[in-house]
Amino acid sequence: MIPSCFTNPDSLTLNAQMPQHLITCVYKTQLSDSPTFITLTWFKTLFSHSLTIHANDSFSVTLSLLPSVFPFFRNRHGSKSISLSRHRHHYHRVKLYWDFTRAQYNRNSAEPDSGFYVAIACNAHIEFILGDLRDDALRRTGAVQMCPSAEPALLQSRREHVFGRRSFTTTAQFSGSKHEIVIECAGGVLRVKADGQIALVVKRLAWNFRGNERILVGMSEVEFYWDVFNWVTRSRRDGSGHGVFVFQVGDGGVWPEMAGPEKKLMRKSMSSSSSMLSLSPSPSCSSVLQWTEESSDGSRSSCSSSTRSSGSGGFSLLLYAWRSD
C-alpha cells in the first residue's frame, strides 16, 4: 500500500497550508532621506516559501523563494522598480534587488542564515541592505557606496511562530551578539535556555501560567514574559494551543499588525475554542504584551496603529510557540 495514494485530500490540503515557520522582522532605516520602517515576513509551508517586503504607505512586494525548473517562475534573484509617495504629487524612485540562489537555511527555518541579500538602492546609493553578500549587492546594483543609514539597518523587533511538542528553538540577537534560545515545557515545568545554559525554571505552571522575570542572555539583561494559559487550559483536552513569550531589551521594539497567513493562523486559533484567552489579530492586545507596555516608559502608541512606535532604543523578540501533542 502506498500511503500517499490513500491520504485524505482535505487533510493533505490543510497540512500543506499550515505554516512550518513564520517570521516577521521590523527594521528602522531611511529611504530618500525619510525615516521608514521596513517589515520583512518570511513564510514557509509544506509546498510554499516566500518573503514579503513591506513599507508602510509605500510598497509591498512578495517574492517566491522556491527553486523552479521553469525560468518564468524563477524569482529567487531579480530586481523591481518602486515609486515611493512621500508628499502630495511628489514621488521618489527606488529599486529593490534580491538574490537567494545560494541561500543557506538552518533546520527548517523560513529565514536564510547566509548566502543572500536584499537591497534597496536610490541615486547610486544602497539605502537598505540585509544579508551577508554585500559585495555582490554592490556589483549588482551598480551603487557607488552604502549610505550611512544602510550600515546596518536597525532591527527593532522580531515576531516568530514556531511549532513543536515539548521543545521550541529560535535565535535572537541581543546587544550585537547572536544567541540560541530554547523553551522547553514538560511535566508542568517551563525551562528557558540560552546557548545551552538554563536561564530560568518556572514550576507549577497550572498556577504560574503568566509572569515575568529578568534573565541573563550572554552578557545582556533581558526582561522575559511568558503566557502559557492556552497550554494549561487545553491540557485537559488535546494539549495543543500556543504559548506567548516576549524577550525585551530596553524600551522594546515596534509591533506591526498581523496580516496574510499570520492573521489567518491567529483567527483559526481563536475560533478553535471559545474558552481560550481572547487574543486580537494584533499581538499588542494580548495580556502578556500589555505587561511589556506597562513596564516601558509609556511612549508607545495604541494598538490600533499600523506600526507602534518604540522609545529611543531597544529590541523585542515575540515568540508564539504552537504546541501539538
Residue 287 phi/psi, 5-degree rounding, is -60, -45
* Residue 259: predicted pLDDT: 72
User: Residue 91 in 3-state DSSP?
Assistant: strand
Confidence (pLDDT) at 14? 42
Q: Are 253 and 316 in contact, with CB atoms under 8 Å apart? A: yes
Q: Which residues contact 287 (CB under 8 A, 6 or more apart)?
A: 210, 227, 277
Please report the pLDDT score of residue 237 as a whole number.
53
Please name which of 38, 42, 44, 56 lies closest in space to residue 20, comparing C-alpha atoms: 44
d(CA 297, CA 41): 28
In tens digits, what is the pLDDT along the chain, a chain of 325 residues?
333 333 343 433 444 456 678 999 999 888 877 888 899 999 998 888 999 999 877 788 999 888 754 454 455 678 888 887 665 556 678 889 999 999 999 877 899 999 999 999 887 788 899 999 988 888 888 765 666 555 567 888 999 999 888 899 998 888 888 899 999 998 899 999 999 999 999 999 989 999 999 999 988 899 999 999 888 886 545 556 789 999 998 876 677 777 777 777 777 666 654 434 333 333 334 566 666 655 554 444 333 334 444 444 688 999 999 987 6
pLDDT for 295? 58
> d(Cα 37, Cα 309) in Å, to the nearest integer?
10
In whole angstroms, give the CA distance from residue 243 to residue 204.
Answer: 16
SS3 state of residue 118 = strand
Strand-by-strand arrangement of the 49-55 sheet? 59-64, 49-55, 34-44, 21-31, 154-164, 314-323, 241-250, 220-227, 210-217
Q: Could you write out the DSSP letters of every residue in 29-41?
A: EEETTEEEEEEEE
What is the pLDDT at residue 91?
67
Name the CA radius of gyration of the chain, rounded.
21
pLDDT of residue 32: 77
Q: Using CA atoms, how far apart are residues 289 and 185, in angstroms rounded to an integer?
A: 21
Cβ neighbors of 119 (< 8 A, separation 6 or more) are 96, 97, 98, 126, 128, 129, 130, 131, 137, 140, 141
User: What is the enclosing helix (H) or strand (E) of 137?
Assistant: helix 134-141
C-alpha closest to that of 96 among 59, 144, 43 = 59
**Residue-range domains of the chain with CATH:** 13-152 (no CATH), 157-323 (2.40.128.180)
What's the pLDDT at 138?
A: 85
Residue 190's pLDDT is: 96
Q: Global pTM? A: 0.79
